[in-house]
Structure 1
Amino acid sequence: MLNKGDFHIHSNASDGKYNPTEIIILSKINQIDVISIADHNTTAGISEAVEAGRNYGVSVVPAVELSTKFNCESVHLLGYFKNNLYQHDTFQEILKLIKSHRFKKVRKILKNHIDLELKEGKLSVLEGINLLRCFGASVVLAHPMRISNKNIEQVLSLPFDGIEAKYSNTDFNTSLYFINLALSKFSFYTAGSDFHSIKNKNSKHSFIGTVYLNNSEIKYFLKSLELCC
């Protein structure tokens, strides 16, 4: 039975301190049954996490955190994959180009897959949504409570599948607001600690499992992804 799930964790494949196996062990110690390693613009840590998860009894939902922009503000998207399309060569090439800020080449590839909004720079939020969907992901707006008041309403008008309603160091009323919004406007909500390191002093992040979905919430989330509960 999956009783606790943390769906926003970073490994050393991006800017986290610990490798995927260490994250699995930390998750097991802290009684987390299912996780997502959602590294910035890379899925490099997923295979190791899945293998370690089998050994330690922790389920892993493949994910990525994609960097996009809206009105010059950075907006992050969480993509959760129900199949292995994230391993597709084209998607992997796009992620590598995004990490190296080679956006002109990214758009050259993307024009064969999605409609483009911008001519240069980071992908727009809508472009990011369409890119992730093109490769089999359900798309969640990451930490909406960190988006500026001037942009949040417009961002939430975009076609997300869900919202990261439970987030690191977010008060109960704010989480409840986004949970209700997710259930009324989108398909589901997620929870994430945004864990990077045990010694991380960044108040935006917290420890693995500090923020989590419970059993019924996990079932609803996985059902929405068409994954086994």
Structure 2
Amino acid sequence: MAIDLWSVDLHSHTTYSDGSQSPEALVRLAKANGVRVLAITDHDHTGGIDEALAMGVNAGVEVIPGIELSASHAEFEDIHILAYYFAWHAPQLLARLEAFRMARETRAERILERINAKLGAEGRQPIAYEDVKARVKGAFGRPHIATQLVERGYVPDMNAAFRDYLIPCNVPKYYMPAAEALALIHQARGLSSVAHPKFITPERPRLRRVLTELSALGLDGIEAYHSDHHADERLYCIRLANQLGLMITGGSDYHGFNPQGMHHDGRSKLGSVQLPYGMAVRLRQFYLARYPLALLLLEWPPAAAAALRRALHMHYRLRSVEVVPGASPTPDLAGLWPTAESLVLSLPTGDPRLIQAIAAAGEPLGIRMVAVPWERSGYEPQRGLYETGGISAERFQRTSLERLAHEVVHEAILAQLR
């Protein structure tokens, strides 16, 4: 199967926010729909990422850790900013998200109070806050209240719940300043992309202005491909991204249902935007340029290492270096990094002194070392060195070099974020 026939979906939601599928079920659905790369982008919550990653390994789906933050900038509220490939367990990030979720919870409690007043006026029994809270797996949101309204028979479906109760009883939402959201993402070594920009404003001069300002604040990309973007809207976003030097992303924004309170079609089929695998490759290329990594092929057979280095250079433009053993276990590495850039090195030995010397050469430039050991490597894990799982001879033989290059880069990025 050609790589480009594999679909990519960089925008989806699980039950940890306002989606209808568990992380495991969502990954299984991605597999069934031909999605090879899936980003889990729950609202303000990272709880589903580890579950999705574990299922992705079993299902053969490359899961990208993601999140969707609600932000404000200037006169614009509810700007959604997606993050990809970030350290989802970073304490500072988790603390900020917890505070943000507490604000959401307070809002949900106030909405429920208004709904209960309306239910009382209609002669109906109120809904206890504890009953709703008990059903929440991640971020508390209006869909959880809507589900209770449906289950109690007060409304026939989710759309009616929003139309008759959630929208009339709404409470204004708290938004994180966009500058803070972007800084939070970058502190966690992630990439950012503004989601469904058409919903920020329909006025293109104003949209250009706000996206230009967000770019100056550190925005990395624009979600040009979205299930609600028409062809001319996609083209406009692509042109604007190119003019601003931003990456282009896209996804279905799959939720599994479409309550009327949502401004987009959350029922869109997962993978419906039909993005080629090349979009995931470009996302990783952008990542490796922003956060340089050194991939250390430890004790690989020379022919296998040379073949993978060629594939990594072809698809990710990684400069290739072969460290030839000499009399000294720590050869002169001056000039290894003339600039901060990602590269791949073949090391015939896992000698700690050699690895430490390479790490010392890259440290001033902020380059992280990620070991990619061969299965029979005698390499011992070292402090400060990240590591993927060992590559077995069986895996090398059954996987095309192109496929293996993509998997190794994906796994290396994840290894230094866990």
TM-score normalised by length of structure 2? 0.47
Q: Structure 1: 5+ residue runs without aligned partners?
A: 103-120
Q: Structure 2: 5+ residue runs without aligned partners?
A: 105-173, 289-405, 411-418
Higher RCO (CA 8 Å, separation ≥ 6 residues):
1
More off after superposition, 144-153 vs 42-51:
144-153
Give the 5 Å matches for 1:15-26.
15-26=18-29
More off after superposition, 86-95 vs 50-59:
86-95
What is the aligned-residue RMSD (CA, Å)?
Answer: 2.0
Shift of 1:100: 1.4
- 2:188 counterpart residue number: 135
Equivalent of 1:91, from 90, 93, 96? 93
Give yes or no for the alignment of 1:62 onto 2:57: no
Shift of 1:134: 1.2
Shift of 1:169: 2.4
Q: Matched residues in 2 for 1:200 and 1:52: separation?
A: 26
AA at the equivalent of 1:57:
G
- 2:270 counterpart residue number: 208
Q: Matched residues in 2 for 1:216 and 1:200: separation?
A: 29
- 1:182 counterpart residue number: 241
Please give the per-residue CA displacement for 1:197-224, whole angstroms capped at 9, x wherever unaligned: 1x43655331100114212232212211
Q: Matched residues in 1 for 2:84 and 2:274: separation?
A: 16
Q: Matched residues in 2 for 1:151 and 1:47: separation?
A: 38
- State whether residues 27 and 55 of structure 2, in contact with CA within 8 Å, keep that contact through their aligned partners in structure 1: yes
Q: Matched residues in 1 for 2:273 and 2:76: separation?
A: 29
Equivalent of 2:83, from 79, 84, 93? 79
Please give the per-residue CA displacement for 1:129-178, whole angstroms capped at 9, x wherever unaligned: 11111111111011101111385233211221100000012211211111
Shift of 1:64: 0.6
Question: Secondary structure, in 3 states, of the residue corresponding to 1:178?
Answer: helix
Give yes or no for the alignment of 1:155 onto 2:210: yes
Q: Matched residues in 2 for 1:155 and 1:33: separation?
A: 33
- State whether residues 81 and 137 of structure 1, in contact with CA within 8 Å, keep that contact through their aligned partners in structure 2: yes
Please give the per-residue CA displacement for 1:58-85, whole angstroms capped at 9, x wherever unaligned: 0011111011112252111001125xx2
AA at the equivalent of 2:182:
I
Q: Matched residues in 2 for 1:172 and 1:164: separation?
A: 13
Q: Matched residues in 1 for 2:48 and 2:274: separation?
A: 21
Question: Secondary structure, in 3 states, of the residue corresponding to 1:179?
Answer: helix
Q: Percent identity?
A: 31
- State whether residues 227 and 252 of structure 2, in contact with CA within 8 Å, keep that contact through their aligned partners in structure 1: yes
- 1:40 counterpart residue number: 43
- 2:54 counterpart residue number: 51
- State whether residues 37 and 277 of structure 2, in contact with CA within 8 Å, keep that contact through their aligned partners in structure 1: no
Q: Matched residues in 2 for 1:192 and 1:19: separation?
A: 18
